[in-house]
Structures are given as structure tokens and as C-alpha cells.
Amino acid sequence: MKKQQQHGGAGGCPDTRPPAAAAAAAGGGPGPGGGWRRRRPLSLLPFLSLRDYGFCMAALLLFCLGSLFYQLNGGPPHFLLDLRHYLGNSTYLDDHGPPPQKVLPFPSQVVYNRVGKCGSRTVVLLLRILSEKHGFNLVTSDIHNKTRLTKNEQMELIKNISTAEQPYLFTRHVHFLNFSRFGGDQPVYINIIRDPVNRFLSNYFFRRFGDWRGEQNHMIRTPSMRQEERYLDINVCILENYPECSNPRLFYIIPYFCGQHPRCREPGEWALERAKLNVNENFLLVGILEELEDVLLLLERFLPHYFKDVLSIYKNPEHRKLGNLTVTVKKTVPSPEAIQILYQRMRYEYEFYYYVKEQFHLLKRKFGLKSHIRKPRPRPEFFIPSPLETEEPIDDEEEDDEKWLEDIYKSGGKEVLLSPFRTLGTDTASGSNNGPRYKKTKQVL
């Protein structure tokens, strides 16, 4: 009896509700076996009717279409952006205060417009190691041999350099660029030069026979060079005044410091004096390759955030093995007569070289560094420089690799200028003893 009461209508007791209500309670619907059953539109929203549900869907559709319209016509409404900006600033600044500014070292913008065949590959190899060690941005270029630029090319290159993440060091074979001329912050320049005749001979044979990095290295660099040109005797090239061994091709080092002006490529006093002026005003350090270790030591003192520990890396035996691969092969010495002619053709180059070398030695003495070479005797007007002053072997193939590499590294050098430079000597071009005129670069957060 209790069982029948619990189950109500299912157990035999008559259902006293109207037929329509009973059918609805039983889950019936239109069709066979039941009447009409009213469904809820959503189980999560039982209070909505079908009309309310349709209204919500239409409003959501209109909202989506409106958002799409705003995005297609310049983004979301400005009041939403302002509201987001206000809420974002107020909540973050109130809780945490202003974000800390990135502290940059000074200088944080350095340019190494490296002179060809003056130890630049050795220094670039060091810079790659140092950039990973100290975390500065080493910016290089895929363009290696375009040193003279048009005005538009200068503007484009300066823009690309200036927008690099700081602190950066940019390096490329390019003549001096005046950033301030195009409204940019003038970076600090560094560079290295070497004895002009030695540089010329190194470049002459490198173009023809490459270095120890590979037997076909020279073929890749000068694939169109004819065999008679490749094996042209250096004395014939000089004595018979071939274009490669005469001006303006021999006027090579000074334009890197003179700049992009067309007169900078004309051998003469104007380019020489302008190069000296730029050295004094824009170059922190210009070194001579013959004293490379002292150059690296001074760079470490002047730019520790770039060059800290550079000397220990440079003296590491593993690094010396890599440096051995960048030495030019098959170099021979021209006759004394040919060297005399080269010296006369390169007299402006030598005047600039001696000027830089003298200032470099003054700077070394100021910092307590002693030159490891004997004091040179006064040079006559047409002194014949020995092409072996830079210690590189004549017969590369017979020289011991380790000793050769050690000699190469001992021969490296640099000369210094700019702020320490100006306190030591007089500006040749202007005759003044004013301090450095470069200004501190703008720090970008």
C-alpha cells in the first residue's frame, strides 16, 4: 500500500490533473504519444523566454559588428583607449611607482670604421667574443667594401645606426660619417692604422692570394682577376706606374678620417688637415697596429664596458690559433727603388701616420705605458720605411705557425686621441689646445 502511494499515478492511482497539464508533466510533446511540451531556451538561464533569448543574441551580433566596424576604421573608440590608459597607469603607478630607467654606460654609442688591412679582422673577432661576454650590441654590416656614400646613403646608414639598441658598437669599412650634419648624436669613434707601405703590400698580396683561411679564399674575393694580373710582379706594378700602385689608389688611410667630402679622396693638404681635425675632435682612440697590445690595454681603460678582459682573451692560445688564419700569404718585399717611389707617392699618408703615432706615444706615457720598441732615429725627408717593421714573415709557408702568430699579435697597435689626446698635443689644423668637443650621447630607454 505504501509502495503505491509513493509512486502516485505511475502505480495505478488516477491522476486528477487536466489532461494538458498531465501531458506536459509527463514530457509529452506534439506528435505521436503526447501533447505540447514547453522547453526552456537555456538550462543556465531558466528565467529567459525565447523572445528574450533572441533579443540577447541580436544585441551580441550588433556589438560584434560594431567592434569590427571600429577596427576597420582606425581601431576601437578613443574613449576605450583613454580609459584603458588611465586604469593601466593609475593601478601600476599607484602600486609600484614609475618603472626604473635603463642605465646606460657612457659612451653607449661607439663606431669602429675600420681601415682595411690594419688588423680589423683580429679586432672584430675579439669584439664578437666581448659582445657575448659583456652583453653590448655588436652591429655589423653585410656591405664590406663600399666606403664612399652618397648623401642619401649616409642618411640611411646613420638612421640605421642611431636606432640600434644601446649600448652598441657599430663596425664597417666606411669613411668617417658626420652624424651631427644629419641631426643625429655624434658617436665616439675608434680606429687602428698601420705603416702605409706595409698596409699597401698586405692588401696587394691579399687580393691575389688571400690568407690561411682557405686555398681558394682569394678566388672568391677576386674571381674576375686575370692570371697575368694576379701574378703581376710588385716591382713592375710600382715602377711602371700601374693604377693599383699609384694615386689615387695609394691615398687610402686618410679618407677614413677625413670623411665623405669629395676632396677627401684627393691627395693633398686639405684632406690631411681635415683628417687630423676629425681625429682630435671625434676619435676617442686611434691606434697603430705595430703596438696592438698597448692599444687593447688603452681601450680596456677607456671603454671597460666594451673591452674589459680583451687583453687576456687576445693572449689566449686558442684565440691566437684563430688569428693565425687571417694572415696574408705569399708576400714579397719590393726593391729599395720601388719602396722609395711608394714613399714619395704616399707622403701625405706618412705624415698622417707619424702624427697619429706621436700622439699615441704621448698618451702611452701619460698612462705609464712604455713602448717595447727602441726610440726611432729622426727620419730624413725621404726615409725609406722597411716593409718588415710590422713583424710579418716574408716566406709565410716556411714560418712556424705559433711563432708567426705570436709575432703578428706583437706587431699590433693603436694610437689614441680625443679627450685624452687633446690634453697632450696641439690641434694641428686649428692650433688650439681646447678640450674634446664631442658631447655625451643621448641615452635611450
Known catalytic residues are 173
- Give Cβ neighbours of residue 279 (< 8 Å, ≥ 6 apart): 257, 286, 356, 417, 418, 421
Query: How many whole angstroms separate alpha carbon 277 and alpha carbon 258?
Result: 8
Tell me the chain's radius of gyration from C-alpha atoms. Answer: 39
Q: Closest Cα partner for 192 from 179, 173, 211?
A: 173
SS3 371: coil
SS3 262: helix
Residues paired with 171 in a beta bridge: 112
C-alpha cell at 81: 583607449
- Residue 110 in contact with residue 168, Cβ under 8 Å? yes
Q: Closest Cα partner for 295 from 194, 378, 195?
A: 194
Query: How many whole angstroms separate alpha carbon 275 and alpha carbon 175?
Result: 11
DSSP 180: G
C-alpha cell at 26: 509527463
* Phi, psi (degrees; rounded to nearest 5) at 82: -65, -40
C-alpha cell at 97: 611607482
**Residue 333, burial from CB neighbour count under 10 angstroms (0-12, 13-18, 19+):** middle
The C-alpha cell 576604421 sits at: 73
Give the helix/strand (H/E) hosting 147.
none
- Residue 334 in contact with residue 242, Cβ under 8 Å? no
* Phi, psi (degrees; rounded to nearest 5) at 157: -65, -45
- Residue 109 in contact with residue 166, Cβ under 8 Å? yes
